[in-house]
Amino acid sequence: MLNRPINNLLKKLGSKFIPIILGIFSLILMLIMVTSVIQKSVDYKEGQVATESIRANKTIENKAETEQKRQLAEEAVTPEYTYQSDLAQTQHDRISQLIALIEKSNSELDKNYQTKVSQAKDGEKIPQPTTDERVAALKKKFEGLDQDTVTFYQQFPEEFYQAVVQLNTTDLEKVETESLKLIDEQMAKRIRQSDLSGYKQQATESIQSLSLSDESNQVMRYLIDLGIVINDTLNQKRTDELKEQASDSVQPVMIYQGEVIVREGSQIDANAINKLKLLGLTSSSTSVFPLIAMVLAVLLQSVVLWFYSRQFEVEFQRVRFVLFYSATMIVGISIMKILQVLQNSNSNNLALFFPAAFMPLVLTVFVNRRAGALSAVFQGAFALLIYYSAVGTNMLSIILMTYIFSGILAIMVKQQRLSDQLKQALLWIVAFPIVWSIVLSVYQGLSFADGKTWSALLATVAASILSFIMGMGLQPYIELLVTDSGVITLNELSNPNHPLLKQLLEEAPGTYHHSMMVANLSANAVAEIGGRSLLTRVACYYHDIGKIRHANFFVENLPTGAENPHNFLLPEDSKQIIFGHVIEGAKILQEYKMPQMVIDICYQHHGTTLMKFFYFKAKERNPEITEAEFRYPGPKPQTREAGVVNIADSCEAAVRAMDHPSIDKIKEFVHNLIEERISDGQLDESGLTLKEIRIIEKSLISGLSSTFHSRIKYPRMKSEAEKMKEEQENKGEA
């Protein structure tokens, strides 16, 4: 428990205490963070041997390698072809039709020539049709054909037509037969652009074995050259679609933060240099700006803390806040720094293991929500500095959002023990931050099939659970340090073997029993209104400890039949003895270094109530006596717990003294006593509301009724043995 040492230092240092603490606090933070913001000057070149392992300072896509992999994926795609099986018949029909047109054209010209010769006069010479006329007559036949066929025939050169029209019928038929045979043979195959010349070459070579005239050979070459065409064409659209799909399926090549680019002692090659350039690590000079930013951030925090501490009215509360905040932040930043150091050589997600909710949670519970909010904001600011060069920009933004979100949500818990608000605490500290981490993963477009995504999520889950466990597990021990009324302390004080309780039991057993009863009544009532039940119980154990100095002057400790010693004293003397049990009790508790609230309840459990019995007795002797002389010194109850003890103490003592207390009598007495305390102003400073007072009244009535009300006397039942004996005697008489 540090309250007393802090008080002693505060008395010695006075107004200088807080500036000194803030100065030491700022210096410690700077020493922790300075290595994170000091930059090294580097100048890496190809062929240089790395003196230390070079790791990626951020997560970034290697676009050059990604593009290379996508190009390879596109090249690996098999082109999609469309086979035109009917094209062979089309080409066959076109060649056959062409030969037929040639034969028909020649026949018509020859017939026309014979007619002219037969009709010619003697001596008249009729010229035979020329080659040009035959070609012209042939092409005249093309006018009635479809456009595709005409286009095909137009591909033949003029030399072809000049030669083909000169062939006789026999040669032309042989050319047709052999040409169609060779064309059909090749067109039955799948002919692609790359194979076309080969297939044409095969067919052309076959012409040599046919023993045709040179003119026929030449005509067949033309027919084969244009008759054999591509029938398996590239489906460019479908092929492009397949390439696009293959390219899209390639995952981006990433350089992950923490990834080793060059190991210590290895030579920096061209690939490594490209990666270092991409990361901006090839060359850099030192800069003092991060260091200046760190100093300014720490000083800003100190100024904010100083101004905020001025809002506390009591100097001790200011000092306590600054000390507690400083100690908590130093612990948190130290953990953060350790994770940063390990981050350089281990997992990329190690920073996410930081229990970001712990510091705001502890400050919220032990100080207030605004203190927790300050720690949440500044832990995010210091994370920006600590992870300055340890993680990449993307990872740093995720860390900052996670820390600040978890810290802000932690201040939403109630300012009470986590075990008393288990479900709500789990929701604020664990559940919501986990959902937030999923949101961040979706925002980044991370794949949930990737193990790295799950490792990041598991790190956040572990950090949230760790924050909750640390908050709940360390809370009793933190209480032991910063308060004098922690659970561990109160449990020790409630032990019946405590020296004061043992002394009270031995020297004032009636008071001991009374204290136990008041403790039960008060603790139950305080629990009903949401107060500090355990502290109230312990305070009640010791609230009448001052009676051990004059135990027999209090009626509950008198032996049966003993006469009340106050009968032999003046009212003024009796008053001093009764008053003394409050003052003496507080002194004893201070000697035993009891929690301040236990001492306060000892002072306040009678408030400034009037000691009526001795006041009226003194009034009979001296009418000039005033009420003020016979009122307890107080002060009036200053807390809800003290107000409950004030009521419960009087109720228990009065109901115990009742003859045959009934439930109705208890109800009436408790109600009247509370109304009297309200009208007397005893509860004005306790903070109790009328609603809470009614709840307290109901609780006290229930507790007193179950303990003190007269019970119905049931007729004595005979034992089974007595019944059996009577039955045996009756049988004997019969």
Residues 6 or more apart whose Cβ sits within 8 Å of residue 349:
452, 455, 456, 459
Identity of the residue numbered 507: E
How would residue 721 be classed by pLDDT, with cut points 50, 70 and 90?
A: very low
Identity of the residue numbered 231: N
Residue 495 backbone dihedrals phi, psi, to 5 degrees: -70, 125
Q: Looking at beta carbons, which pairs linking 98-106 to residues 24 or more positions away fall under 8 Å?
A: 98/153, 99/172, 99/173, 99/175, 99/176, 101/138, 101/141, 101/142, 102/138, 102/164, 102/165, 102/172, 103/169, 103/172, 104/141, 105/134, 105/137, 105/138, 105/140, 105/141, 105/165, 106/134, 106/165, 106/169
Dihedral class, residue 265 (left if φ above 0, else alpha if ψ from -120 to 50, else beta): left
Give the integer Cα–Cα distance in Å for 291 and 30. 9
How would residue 720 be classed by pLDDT, with cut points 50, 70 and 90?
A: very low
Q: What is the mean pLDDT of residues 484-509?
A: 87
Give the pLDDT of residue 701. Answer: 93
pLDDT at 722 over 80: no
Give the pLDDT of residue 28. Answer: 93
Give the pLDDT of residue 106. Answer: 86
Which among 349, 357, 299 has a CA at the least distance from the CA of 332? 357
**Domain boundaries, given as residue ranges, for the chain:** 3-37+286-483, 42-62+253-284, 81-234, 498-708
Give the pLDDT of residue 421. Answer: 82
Residue with tokens 């790395």: 50
Kindly report the average pLDDT of the chain as a whole number. 84
Q: How many residues does the chain have?
A: 734
CB-based burial of residue 73 (10 Å sphere; 0-12 exposed, 13-18 middle, 19+ buried)? Answer: middle
Question: Are 551 and 507 contacting, i.e. CB atoms less than 8 angstroms apart?
Answer: yes
Give the pLDDT of residue 119. Answer: 81
| Between 452 and 690, the higher pLDDT residue | 690
Q: Over 470-500, what HEC string results?
A: HHHHHHHHHHHHHCCCCHHHHHHHCCCCCHH
Residues 6 or more apart whose Cβ sits within 8 Å of residue 66:
250, 252, 253
Give the integer Cα–Cα distance in Å for 241 and 245. 6
| Between 58 and 489, the higher pLDDT residue | 489
Residues 6 or more apart whose Cβ sits within 8 Å of residue 657:
none
Give the pLDDT of residue 501. Answer: 92
pLDDT at 727 over 70: no
CATH architecture of 498-708: Orthogonal Bundle (1.10)
pTM of the predicted model over 0.85:
no
Give the pLDDT of residue 516. Answer: 94
Residue with tokens 């039960």: 520
Residue with tokens 């004061």: 500
